[in-house]
Amino acid sequence: MGDGMGVGMEDERDRIDPYALWLYAKAGMGSKWIRRLYSHGGLQTAGQLFDMTEKECEDLCGAAYAESAGEVGKGTAEKAAGRLKAAIRAGTAQRREEAAERLRRMGIRFVTMEDRLYPERLRNIPDPPFGLYYRGCLPSDDRPSVAVIGARGATRYGIQQARIFSGTLAAAGVQIVSGLAVGVDGAAEEEALYCGGASFGVLGCGVDVCYPERNRRIYERMCAGEHGSGVLSEFPPGEQPKRNYFPARNRLISGLADILLVCEARAQSGTQITADHALDQGRDIFAVPGRNIDALSEGCNRLIRQGAGIAICPQDLLGHFFGSGAGEESQPEEGDPQKQDPESGEAGNGGVELRLADPVQQALFESLDAADLQEMDALREKMEENLGRGVSIREAGAVMSKLMLLGYAQEPCSGYYCRAIEKGAGKR
């Protein structure tokens, strides 16, 4: 599925500037120094470099490095000019065109800070990459974006929260950004796709490398541009993941988002690095609170203590984008047994036991909890206890479908079930 862009935009995305690609991939200069060529040296396009004399090239590098002489040391401009001139001599027009064509054959697009398609959110971070490789699509500048991150070895609670937040946000039109790692990241991105939203994976390797391999199905769906999704990286195709690449990758995850949401994390982890980047970039940070005895909630609880917003439900973030009334639940209606206790007047979904005529449906309903998501296998075992007989997964699934159609159960995230918050909320 595409992202709804017009033909002109499609053509623009498929164009690759061979000069800019060469400058980024072959000139031996990092993003920081390339940006200096533009901001301090006065370079306007990469193609200008090939029309310069050696003296003009030396002057360009001298101007680019002038303000940082004390930082980089004497002679840096001369060394940079030497590398640049050597790369220009070695890079023939044929080689440049072949490099661009190789990317096209691989289904990889390339965009630089020279291009209109470059994400505006990244232009304004302290250390933006000059170039980005991507497959599928890039995040839209016109839609809200949330980076959902957390522990690789996440608990069931962390996975549940990642799915609940990402699914609800994605269904509301919010883009989900993460790192495609196992645990919270992968769960968030998969749920966004499941709910029909756009999901973006920022990689610490080349965009043609799926890491980790166990998330290949999610990776391939994003590469295909499903619902406008994509994968992106500042590292060249073929580059394998390396430990020192991930802190750099993390600054792009937070940089592409308006809000950073931490679902579960240890006190000292890569998640904290991403949160630090978010602070430097002026992004809002929210964290899902957890029990104070859980090591994997320590990072979230610490962020909250340091001033991060408390994310109790997706509406906390939706309200940030769409106003305080976004996603608010309707008030209980008088006489609805699923919403109100007829004796005490208290809200149902835990305090009220709805009586269903079908004993098998009743057994499953009693196994559900409004405050805790459960997998079908765990619910099946509880049904067996309630009924005093064996229940197959097939039978439990059929009964669950019926309860969801009746509006007494819901599936907030793929494979996890709970009692419906309000009658009819279970229909997806």
Alpha helices in 137-269 (DSSP H): 156-171, 184-194, 216-223, 245-255
The DSSP line for 375-415 is: EHHHHHHHHHHHHTS---HHHHHHHHHHHHHHTSEEEEETT
Task: Write down all domains in the chain, each with its CATH number in brackets.
Answer: 17-105 (no CATH), 136-322 (3.40.50.450), 332-428 (1.10.10.10)
Question: How many angstroms separate the Cα of 151 from the Cα of each of 4, 42, 168, 222, 294?
Answer: 34, 44, 20, 21, 13
Q: Report the pLDDT value the prediction gives residue 421, as an integer from 0 to 100.
A: 55
This prediction's pTM = 0.76
The closest of 178, 127, 125, 126 to 154, measured between CA atoms, is 178
Length of the chain: 428
Region of 372 please: left (phi>0), alpha (psi -120 to 50) or beta: beta
Q: Which residues contact 145 (CB under 8 A, 6 or more apart)?
A: 121, 139, 174, 175, 176, 177, 256, 257, 258, 259
Q: Which residues contact 100 (CB under 8 A, 6 or more apart)?
A: 16, 17, 18, 21, 110
Query: Per-residue pLDDT for the chain (428 aa), expressed as one digit of tens each?
Result: 444 444 455 567 788 999 999 889 887 778 988 998 898 888 999 888 888 888 888 888 888 877 655 555 447 777 778 878 887 777 678 888 999 999 999 999 999 999 999 999 999 999 999 999 999 999 999 999 999 999 999 998 999 899 989 988 998 999 999 999 999 999 999 999 988 999 999 999 999 999 999 999 999 999 999 999 999 999 999 999 999 999 999 999 999 999 999 999 998 888 999 999 999 999 999 999 999 899 999 999 999 999 999 999 898 999 888 875 554 443 334 334 333 333 333 333 333 456 777 889 899 999 998 778 888 889 999 999 999 999 888 888 888 888 887 778 888 777 788 887 544 333 33
- In degrees, rounded to 5, the angle at the alpha carbon of residue 228 between the alpha carbons of residues 209 and 214 is 35
Q: Is 399 exposed, middle or buried (0-12, 13-18, 19+ CB in 10 A)?
A: buried
- Beta strands 131-136 and 374-375 are unpaired
Mapped onto helix, strand or coil, the DSSP state of residue 251 is helix
Please name every residue paired with 148 in a beta bridge, in sequence order, or none if there are none: 261
The closest of 120, 94, 116 to 15, measured between CA atoms, is 116
Question: How many angstroms separate the Cα of 312 from the Cα of each of 259, 263, 286?
Answer: 15, 10, 10
Q: Report the pLDDT value the prediction gives residue 184, as an integer from 0 to 100.
A: 96
How much is the CA Rg of the chain, to the nearest whole Å? 26
Phi and psi dihedrals of 198, rounded to 5? -90, 135
The closest of 166, 27, 142 to 84, measured between CA atoms, is 27
Neighbouring CB atoms inside 10 A of 307's CB total: 8
The Cα 252–Cα 415 span in angstroms is: 31
